[in-house]
């Protein structure tokens, strides 16, 4: 059959153009014939033979034998590789072990690295793993090293859980890493397994205290004290916890008393109680304990440094002999260790605060700061010494260098604010301090000091009410700071709030500085408010407290003489002052006080001679202010020539800035008292050129009202107050109101007058310590013809601290016109006594 007659069904599979075609149509090759005479296959149109069914790609049956064979071969290979690896590791471990045995055991980095490599290759060698854990634990310093040590200690304890020493090491590493909740159960377990070991109970208390669980902490500390009555640390932590967190001061005192009863020969115990009592304001007892500690261990560094700090911080003026004695021990220790930062800091504190030698203090501090263990306190003191030497540029440079050396940023910012404050940049200082106050935690010891410095800035700026509020905040943040409490008491007393001031001082009655302040407050109250006078014996008791701690230093002698005069023993008081001045002829504080007491007896001429007979430099703030007060008391201008005022102005201008401002401000008021208002205004203008003080600017507005068109700086003063305050705050409103009432004149319009009265009553709420709103209300009341209301407001102004002679005189005149003669006599008598 030729190819032309083939049908489609007979075309062989594999032909071109047809699925499965293998030969072209024009191929002359014959089709293959079936073997063995079989019939040829019949191929359908799809290229499949009949009976094959549909074509598929399904694989054949799975070869289990081959899979098993391959698995076995893979396992054998893995085992072989593992065996080879184990063999190599064992060889390397053996080699490392041999090296370890030959090496000297030490904590050197090389030995530790060798041991770490060995433990990695031989983790089952528990002895070497234990040794590595010990080395890592003892050398750990950074957080990473501590965590590595902790990991190794935990691995050892998993296999040997009864190793007490290792469990202690693990707990200590947890505690150091701040993992107090993990460490607490470990210390609990250790304290049960080691009955009588106070350390574990003490550390458990540390964990609970850190975790803010004070009741559990107190129980743990009590167990520590019971286990070891000589464990001073446990007594201290327990007493502080009871006093500060559990509000059990009586129980805290019992614990701290027991500490001394059990450890009477321990200097450390007396140091601990001294610190505890000092924080509670019991300075006299704290000083006694620091003295006893020094007697027990005069060669102990911690005891000696604590004694120096106690003498300098807890007394307004330690005795020369006591400080010299303890400083001789500091000098001896410095010869043995010239770079000790704490000893150098004590030297600087003594030179700066006692000997008034900032240059020597600076030298000691620069040596201390070379030691990396030196604290931020030294940096702060260094800047203060530079400020005291009027080396502002050096202080700025030093602060920048300290910042580069890693001093914490809050401390750097605080120091810069102190520099601004000393330079008279009070606005910049208060701005920096208020920003810093918002960043520092209330629990930071620096927080109270920041608000104290803010208060001082406000005081320098004349913002009396803001000053008081800042001090109240500082007192809340540092309730055991006698320094802040006394500063607040001074500000309160200045505004006439004597009762409140006394309440602030009273908790620190055992502090000799507070005792002397209490004497001053009792005298002030008894002389200015005789209707609510306190017992003079109470003042004498406070004075005795101060004298026992301080001895007969000038502040004590002055108050002794004042109390003698107050109680009618004038001759004894003046004789005491004369003898004190003969013993210390160059002391201007004693001589000024002697003159003041003499003048108080009406002997103005004798008082003037006392001041003129001063053997030293007369141009001191103490003597100039004392002389100005004498001139102010000489109402008839007979005893002391008024011509001295011009010379005093020249001398005051030559004093350091702070003393100069104080003397010139008193000079201005003396001119005013002598009705020389032009001179008073001129001096005050000189003052405000040196210091932006709101009080002085407001006084200039008042003088502008008295001098009229010849001297009107009210607009300038109002602008200055607005600039100082930074906005239209209460002081700016007060300045504008003063200018309108005193300079322009009390308006006749009833509506405007009502508006002004409403403004002033609002200012009474915003500025409760200021007497000025009361004076302005009194002026309006006089304008309206309401004499009784004017008297009431004048009394209120006097209670707020304004006791100027012209105000007293005006009040007395109104009382006389109102037929209140006895009250007028009382007002004048109190004025004379208080001056």
pLDDT tens per residue, range 711-769: 888 899 999 999 888 777 899 999 999 999 998 888 888 888 899 999 999 999 999 88
Alpha-carbon span 34 to 23, nearest angstrom: 18
In-domain check, residue 796: yes
Alpha-carbon span 676 to 547, nearest angstrom: 43
Alpha-carbon span 720 to 452, nearest angstrom: 25
At 305, list the tokens.
Answer: 């440094």
In-domain check, residue 200: no
Query: What average pLDDT does this structure show over 240-249?
Result: 91
In-domain check, residue 8: yes
pLDDT tens per residue, range 48-102: 444 455 555 556 677 777 778 778 778 877 776 765 555 454 545 555 554 554 4
Q: What is the pLDDT of residue 424?
A: 76
175-179, 226-230, 313-317, 623-627: the lowest-pLDDT one = 313-317
At 737, list the tokens.
Answer: 């109101």
Nearest to 806 by CA among 701, 714, 702: 702
Q: How many residues does the chain have?
A: 835
Alpha-carbon span 643 to 651, nearest angstrom: 13
pLDDT band at 531 (very low <50, low <70, confident <90, very high): low
Instruction: Please state the φ and ψ torsions of residue 268, each to the nearest 5 degrees.
Output: -60, -40
Alpha-carbon span 498 to 500, nearest angstrom: 5
The CATH number of whichever domain residue 789 belongs to comes to: 1.25.40.10
DSSP SS3 for 508: helix
What are the residue ranges of helices labelled H in 194-282? Answer: 198-210, 214-227, 232-244, 249-262, 267-279
What residue has token string 């009361």? Answer: 774
Q: What is the pLDDT of residue 110?
A: 57
In-domain check, residue 504: no
Q: Hey, how many other C-beta atoms are within 10 angstroms of the C-beta on 289?
A: 26
pLDDT band at 18 (very low <50, low <70, confident <90, very high): very low
Query: What average pLDDT does this structure show over 432-459?
Result: 88
Nearest to 662 by CA among 697, 642, 630, 691: 691
Q: Hey, how many other C-beta atoms are within 10 angstroms of the C-beta on 265?
A: 8
What residue has token string 């009502």? Answer: 754
At 28, list the tokens.
Answer: 């002359």
In-domain check, residue 823: yes
Q: What is the pLDDT of residue 107?
A: 55
pLDDT tens per residue, range 284-296: 788 889 999 999 9
Q: What is the pLDDT of residue 113?
A: 63
DSSP SS3 for 664: helix
Statement: the pTM of the whole predicted model exceeds 0.75? no
Residue 630 or residue 177, greater confidence: 177
Q: What is the pLDDT of residue 12?
A: 46
Residue 634 or residue 569, greater confidence: 569
Percent of the chain at pLDDT exceeding 90: 32
Query: What average pLDDT does this structure show over 274-278?
Result: 90
DSSP SS3 for 405: coil
At 252, list the tokens.
Answer: 């805290």
Say if residues 185 and 202 touch (Cβ distance below 8 Å). Answer: no
In-domain check, residue 444: no
Q: Which residues contact 770 (CB under 8 A, 6 or more apart)?
A: 464, 465, 495, 734, 763, 800
Residue 244 reports pLDDT greater than 80:
yes
Q: What is the pLDDT of residue 17?
A: 43
Alpha-carbon span 676 to 800, nearest angstrom: 25
In-domain check, residue 812: yes
The DSSP-derived string for 412-451 is HHHHHHHHHHHTT-HHHHHHHHHHHHHHS-TTSHHHHHHH
Alpha-carbon span 802 to 626, nearest angstrom: 19
* Residue 24 belongs to domain spanning: 1-39
Between the alpha carbon of residue 148 and those of residues 106, 127, 153, 182, 186, the distances in Å are 19, 18, 9, 16, 19
Q: What is the pLDDT of residue 3?
A: 43
Percent of the chain at pLDDT exceeding 70: 83
In sequence order, the β-bridge partners of residue 20 are 14
Q: What is the pLDDT of residue 67?
A: 78
Alpha-carbon span 520 to 803, nearest angstrom: 17
DSSP SS3 for 20: strand
Q: Hey, how many other C-beta atoms are within 10 angstroms of the C-beta on 746?
A: 16
Residue 761 or residue 634, greater confidence: 761
Q: Hey, how many other C-beta atoms are within 10 angstroms of the C-beta on 275?
A: 18
Between the alpha carbon of residue 635 and those of residues 422, 450, 670, the distances in Å are 38, 44, 11
In-domain check, residue 75: no
Q: How many domains does the chain have?
A: 2
Q: What is the pLDDT of residue 635?
A: 62
Query: What average pLDDT does this structure show over 218-223?
Result: 93
């Amino acid at each position: 059959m030729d190819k032309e007659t083939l049908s489609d069904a007979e075309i062989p599979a594999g032909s071109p153009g047809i699925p499965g075609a293998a030969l072209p149509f024009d191929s002359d090759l014959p089709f293959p014939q079936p073997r063995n005479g079989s019939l040829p296959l019949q191929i359908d149109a799809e290229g499949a033979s009949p009976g094959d069914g549909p074509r598929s790609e399904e694989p054949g049956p799975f070869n289990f034998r081959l899979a098993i064979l391959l698995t076995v071969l893979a396992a054998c290979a893995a085992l072989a590789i593992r065996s080879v690896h184990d063999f190599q590791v064992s060889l390397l471990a053996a080699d490392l072990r041999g090296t370890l045995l030959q090496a000297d055991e030490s904590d050197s980095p090389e030995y530790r690295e060798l041991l770490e490599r060995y433990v990695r290759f031989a983790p089952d060698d528990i002895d070497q793993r234990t040794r590595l854990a010990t080395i890592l634990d003892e050398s750990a310093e950074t957080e990473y090293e501590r965590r590595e040590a902790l990991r190794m200690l935990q691995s050892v304890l998993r296999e040997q859980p009864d190793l007490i020493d290792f469990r202690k090491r693990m707990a200590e590493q947890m505690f150091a890493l701040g993992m107090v909740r993990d460490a607490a159960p470990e210390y609990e377990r250790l304290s049960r397994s080691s009955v009588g070991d106070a350390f574990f109970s003490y550390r458990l208390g540390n964990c609970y205290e850190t975790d803010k669980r004070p009741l559990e902490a107190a129980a743990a500390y009590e167990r520590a004290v019971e286990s070891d009555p000589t464990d001073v640390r446990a007594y201290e932590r327990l007493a502080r916890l009871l006093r500060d967190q559990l509000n059990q001061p009586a129980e805290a005192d019992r614990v701290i008393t027991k500490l001394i009863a059990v450890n009477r020969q321990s200097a450390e115990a007396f140091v601990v109680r001294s610190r505890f009592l000092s924080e509670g304001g019991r300075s006299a007892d704290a000083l006694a304990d620091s003295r006893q500690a020094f007697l027990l261990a005069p060669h102990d560094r911690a005891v000696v440094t604590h004694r120096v700090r106690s003498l300098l911080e807890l007394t307004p003026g330690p005795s020369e002999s006591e400080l010299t004695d303890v400083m001789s021990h500091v000098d001896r220790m410095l010869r043995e260790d010239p770079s000790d930062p704490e000893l150098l800091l004590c030297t600087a504190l003594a030179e700066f605060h006692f000997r008034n030698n900032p240059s020597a203090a600076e030298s000691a501090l620069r040596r201390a700061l070379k030691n990396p263990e030196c604290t931020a306190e030294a940096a702060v003191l260094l800047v203060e010494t530079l400020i005291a030497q009027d080396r502002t540029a050096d202080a700025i440079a030093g602060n920048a260098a300290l910042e580069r050396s890693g001093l914490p940023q809050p401390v750097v910012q605080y120091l810069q604010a102190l520099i601004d404050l000393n330079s008279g940049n009070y606005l910049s200082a208060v701005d920096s301090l208020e920003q810093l106050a918002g960043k520092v935690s209330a629990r930071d010891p620096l927080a109270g000091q920041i608000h104290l410095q803010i208060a001082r800035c406000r005081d320098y700026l004349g913002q009396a009410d803001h000053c008081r509020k800042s001090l109240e905040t500082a007192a809340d943040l540092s309730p055991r700071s006698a320094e802040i409490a006394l500063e607040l008491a001074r500000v309160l007393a200045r505004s006439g709030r004597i009762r409140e001031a006394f309440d602030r001082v009273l908790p620190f009655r055992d502090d000799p500085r507070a005792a002397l302040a209490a004497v001053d407050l009792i005298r002030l109250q008894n002389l200015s408010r005789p209707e609510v006078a306190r017992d003079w014996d109470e003042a004498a008791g406070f004075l005795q407290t101060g004298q026992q701690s301080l001895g007969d230093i000038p502040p004590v002698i002055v108050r002794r003489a004042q109390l003698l005069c107050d109680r009618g023993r004038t001759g004894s008081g003046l004789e005491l002052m004369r003898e004190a001045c003969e013993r210390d002829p160059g002391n201007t504080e004693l001589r000024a006080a002697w003159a003041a007491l003499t003048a108080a007896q009406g002997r103005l001429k004798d008082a003037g001679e006392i001041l003129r007979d001063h053997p030293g430099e007369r141009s001191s703030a103490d003597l100039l202010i004392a002389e100005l007060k004498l001139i102010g008391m000489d109402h008839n201008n007979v005893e002391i020539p008024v011509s001295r005022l011009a010379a005093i102005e020249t001398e005051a201008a030559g004093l350091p800035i702070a003393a100069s401002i104080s003397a010139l401000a008193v000079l201005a008021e003396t001119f005013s008292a002598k009705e020389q208002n032009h001179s008073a205004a001129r001096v005050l203008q000189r003052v405000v050129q040196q210091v932006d003080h709101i009080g002085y600017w407001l006084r200039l507005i008042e003088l502008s009202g008295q001098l009229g068109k010849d001297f009107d700086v009210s607009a300038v003063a109002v602008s200055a107050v607005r600039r100082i305050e930074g906005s239209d705050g209460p002081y700016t409103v007060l300045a504008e109101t003063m200018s309108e009432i005193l300079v322009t004149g009390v308006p006749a319009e009833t509506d405007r007058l009502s508006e002004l009265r409403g403004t002033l009553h609002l200012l009474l709420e915003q500025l409760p310590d200021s007497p000025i709103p009361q004076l302005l209300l009194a002026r309006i009341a006089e304008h309206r013809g309401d004499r009784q209301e004017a008297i009431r407001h004048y009394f209120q102004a006097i209670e707020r601290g304004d006791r100027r002679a012209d105000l007293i005189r005006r009040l007395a005149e109104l009382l006389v016109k109102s037929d209140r003669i006895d009250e007028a006599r009382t007002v004048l008598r109190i004025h004379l006594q208080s001056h």
